[in-house]
Amino acid sequence: MCISFTRTLALILTLSISTFGFSQVSPTPPSDQIQISGKLVQGSNQEPLPFATIAIYAVADSNIVNNTLTEDNGTFSMEVPPGKYYAEISYIGFEDKTLSDISIAAGQAPLDLGMVDMRADAVALQEVEVRAEKSQMEFKLDRRVFNVGKDLTNAGNSAADILDNVPSVTVDPEGNVSLRGSQGVRILVNGKPSGLLSAGETEALLRMQGDIIQSVEVITNPSARYEAEGEAGIINIILKKNQEKGVNGSFGITAGHPSNYGASYNLNLRRQKFNFFSNFGIDYRRGPGGGLSTQRFFDDGVLTEYYSTDRDQVRGGLGGYMQLGADWYLNDKNIMTASLLYRAGEDDNDATVTYRDFDSNQNVVAKTVRDIDETEKENNLEFSLDYTKTFDKKDQEWKTTFKYILDDETELAEYRQTSDETIGLLQQRSSNTEDEINLLVQSDYVHPFTESSRMEAGLRAAIRTINNDFLVEEQQNGEFVTLPSFDDQLKYNENIYAAYLIGGTEFGAFSFQGGVRAELSDITATLVRSSQSNEQNYLSFFPSASLSYEITQTQQLQLSYSRRLSRPYFRRLLPFSNFNDPRNNNVGNPNLRPEFTDSYELGYLKYFDRGTMLSSIYYRNTSGVIEELILPGEDGTSIEFPVNLSTRNSYGLEFNFSYDLTDAWDVTTDFNFFRAMINGQYEDIDYSADTYSWNSRLNSKIQIGEPVQLQTSFRYRAPRNTPQGRRLSSASLDIAGSVDVFSGKGTLTLSCRDLLNTRKRRSIVDLPNFKSESVFQWRQARQVVLTFNYRLNQDKKPDRGGDRDDFDE
């Protein structure tokens, strides 16, 4: 049964390749052609391999010239014109094989390639799926893989929108990313830091185009191979990259409301020793946002101040990126990859903030209007160089990476404020310039001892330098005068040196992996003008371990542990406000320390005939918890301020389920229930909190005929307690539909995100001397987007691609 299915699948795939290949090549008269023949056998026992694919490519342009299937006895034969060629041989469950330096001269005798050995690929055998099309979600014990292209509602949207559709992940209206309810998550691109995110993950994810994303990996308990940053885990964004022969790629255009217009492409040109790739995107986005809040201040229970803040804003502008790169196959064991990425953007952010002051009877006694005109410009340059060497021994590999990122960002704002209580116009202006340099050098080595045991080791150095200059000026007597409290320069130097060692083995149905990572952190944050400095130098060890048990071929169990940390993002160290809303300031804390977390998880993975279920029980203990507190000021304003509290203990239960109800209808759902207990004090005030909460998501997709798909997604986030009050619930509904056009080469998609416009942050602060209620959207979540994608020499199924770590799997 298995062999019959394999042969049938191989035949279908080969006929598809053959149809495509012959449509690209003009036939050559039979009289000019020479016969090539041979026999394909298993390397282990010399048994013939029937129905394997043999494809012949021209060395000059890597175009396919001819292909065929092997017979029942493993033999094959085909004809080609004179020239220089190479052959690609593939068979399900075996490693692909390349035969180089095939030369055919005019008039020569037929060429016999003889016996060609194929080596079984155990990994490939495990990855064969019954469905020919990749599913939207792939569940593994240590990670979840979300295939972006399979979610119709992602078309034409940002990276933040895409992450918000990933199970276990939530993105609030400001773009803050949480994993299982915690914001201590590390976001990587192709397994490494990237210039696409160097401007700060929150704003960068809102800006980053989703068209370049192929898949998203969620790793909740990473091994020691990964950097220790991110106490809740790692989100790894895999970018599109194709390595198929010839020229292929895709083009896309987008139009949406509110203003969302863009165009993009990703192209690939493969020659025998070179693979050239390029990605480009340009977009114009401007979205409305804002919200309403009320603040009340008390003194011994007596109301002393009461006002509301109404904010209307429009944010966004023009942005784009260009990436060029190449893979150079020096030989069959050495690969060099180089890429250059340039990204630029210019946003015009306009806002109007209206304050209304009330008396004790809730009558308006004063009104103040503050108009804000902000421009934000950013330029980013990233150069990356990778070298990979493989060896004769299977899975033995050495990989070295060098990456340089240069980022420059400037924010300039003008403020004009009028009030019923004052005469004249208050004019202010601010500037915030930020220059950042990142340097990364990393080397990893994998050494297999046997087929069931191996060791991995690596070294890493990450050097980061940031200069941030902040200045606020106010017009007095016709001249702008510096406000001393908002004039300083932050110099931030972060040097992280790391080494790790991992060992793993299999014994029967069990597999074990254990390792330790050492990181030396050398961090200095200095306020130049005020001569304040915060130095942190510490050596930390981060062990990890996992024990897996294969109950049956369709059931697996894994117990894992890891220790991780979250260093405060440098903007949380800045003791300045952005000055857009001086009554509700958001400032940093130069004295913040990192969080450390011990994470434990038990996971159970079950495969069904038509679906997959992953259930997990997890527990995390965190010390030095960083929480944002809202503190009332003596001048009737509030300040949002990050501080280190004592501990947080959280545990939860999570389910991820994917099932094909019929051949045309599949559903995916996830549910996460957790409890978090925070303990700690700040300035002798207890901010302990105990909360039970949950979030869930349901996705349904229906295929109507061959070309049409419809999808509906619903998300709900339950309310939760905070150290100072409560975060209220939020829900959203997405719908989308797509149709294939141009004989399947193109896809037209219409989607609506947050149809009911209910995805808003609603929060309550309830303190003895301060109470606040707020509803806010950084950018309106509801949007309608029409996208068109055209595939050049590609089928609709996305390539696996990406920079993956096979050891952890």
- Residues 90-105: pLDDT tens digits? 776 677 788 888 988 8
Find the CATH number of the domain harbouring 537: 2.40.170.20
For residue 584, pLDDT beyond 50? yes
pLDDT-derived band of residue 707, with 50, 70 and 90 as boundaries?
confident
683 plus 703 within the same structural domain: yes
164 plus 251 within the same structural domain: no
pLDDT-derived band of residue 27, with 50, 70 and 90 as boundaries?
very low
Measured in residues, the chain has a length of 809
| Better-predicted residue by pLDDT, 744 or 555 | 555
Q: Can you read off the two tokens belonging to residue 667?
A: 């559903």
Looking at the 3D structure of the chain, how many domains does it have?
A: 3
Tell me the percentage of the chain whose pLDDT exceeds 90. 44
pLDDT-derived band of residue 207, with 50, 70 and 90 as boundaries?
low
Find the CATH number of the domain harbouring 213: 2.170.130.10
The pLDDT value recorded for residue 805 is 38
pLDDT-derived band of residue 619, with 50, 70 and 90 as boundaries?
very high
637 plus 568 within the same structural domain: yes
61 plus 87 within the same structural domain: yes
Number of H helices, E strands in the chain: 4, 45
3-state secondary structure 361-426: CCCEEEEEEEEEEEEEEEEEEEEEEEEEEECCCCCCEEEEEEEEEEEEEEEEEEEEEEECCCCCCE
For residue 700, pLDDT beyond 60? yes
The pLDDT value recorded for residue 763 is 94
Domain boundary among 82, 99, 127: 127
For residue 165, pLDDT beyond 60? yes
Find the CATH number of the domain harbouring 101: 2.60.40.1120
CB-neighbour burial class of residue 31 (10 A; exposed 0-12, middle 13-18, buried 19+): exposed
For residue 400, pLDDT beyond 90? yes
For residue 198, pLDDT beyond 80? no
The pLDDT value recorded for residue 725 is 93
206 plus 323 within the same structural domain: no
For residue 151, report the phi and psi dihedrals to the nearest 5 degrees. Answer: -100, 110
For residue 802, pLDDT beyond 60? no
Q: Is residue 805 domain-resident? A: no
341 plus 222 within the same structural domain: no
pLDDT in tens, 278-332: 989 899 999 999 999 999 999 888 998 999 999 999 999 999 989 999 999 888 8
The pLDDT value recorded for residue 153 is 59
Q: Can you read off the two tokens belonging to residue 22?
A: 């012959």
Average pLDDT over residues 623-637: 87
Q: Is residue 46 domain-resident? A: yes
pLDDT in tens, 41-91: 887 678 888 777 888 888 876 777 888 888 878 899 998 888 888 888 877
Q: Please, are residues 76 and 91 in contact by the beta-carbon 8 Å criterion?
A: no
For residue 508, pLDDT beyond 60? yes
For residue 565, pLDDT beyond 90? yes
Which of 295-309, 334-348, 786-800 shows the lowest per-residue confidence on average (mean pLDDT)? Answer: 786-800
For residue 410, report the phi and psi dihedrals to the nearest 5 degrees. Answer: -135, 130
Domain boundary among 215, 239, 263: 239
Q: Is residue 802 domain-resident? A: no
Most confident of 29-33, 88-92, 228-232, 279-283: 279-283
The pLDDT value recorded for residue 407 is 92
Ramachandran assignment for 395, one of left (phi > 0), alpha (psi -120 to 50 degrees), beta (any other) = left
pLDDT in tens, 518-534: 999 999 999 888 888 88
Tell me the percentage of the chain whose pLDDT exceeds 70. 87
Which of 8-17, 119-128, 469-478, 670-679 shows the lowest per-residue confidence on average (mean pLDDT)? Answer: 8-17
Which residue range is the domain that position 698 belongs to? 246-794
pTM of the shown model:
0.76
Q: Is residue 799 domain-resident? A: no
pLDDT-derived band of residue 127, with 50, 70 and 90 as boundaries?
very low
Domain boundary among 239, 267, 302: 239
Q: What value does the mean pLDDT of the chain take?
A: 84
With residue 73 as reference, give the H or E element that holds it: none
Q: Is residue 808 domain-resident? A: no
Most confident of 16-25, 100-109, 618-627: 618-627
Please choose, from the candidates 586, 583, 637, the residue with its C-alpha nearest in 3D space to the C-alpha of residue 354.
Answer: 583
Which of 166-180, 395-409, 448-462, 723-737 shows the lowest per-residue confidence on average (mean pLDDT)? Answer: 166-180
Strand 638-644 versus strand 681-682 pairing type = unpaired
79 plus 203 within the same structural domain: no
93 plus 165 within the same structural domain: no
42 plus 190 within the same structural domain: no
104 plus 192 within the same structural domain: no
For residue 809, pLDDT beyond 50? no
The pLDDT value recorded for residue 151 is 62
Q: Is residue 456 domain-resident? A: yes
Average pLDDT over residues 572-590: 83
What type of residue is 671? F
158 plus 100 within the same structural domain: no
For residue 792, report the phi and psi dihedrals to the nearest 5 degrees. Answer: -100, 115
pLDDT-derived band of residue 17, with 50, 70 and 90 as boundaries?
very low
3-state secondary structure of 112: strand
The pLDDT value recorded for residue 358 is 94
Most confident of 149-158, 269-278, 375-384, 626-635: 375-384
Q: Is residue 355 domain-resident? A: yes
Q: Is residue 562 domain-resident? A: yes
pLDDT-derived band of residue 22, with 50, 70 and 90 as boundaries?
very low
The pLDDT value recorded for residue 157 is 67
488 plus 511 within the same structural domain: yes
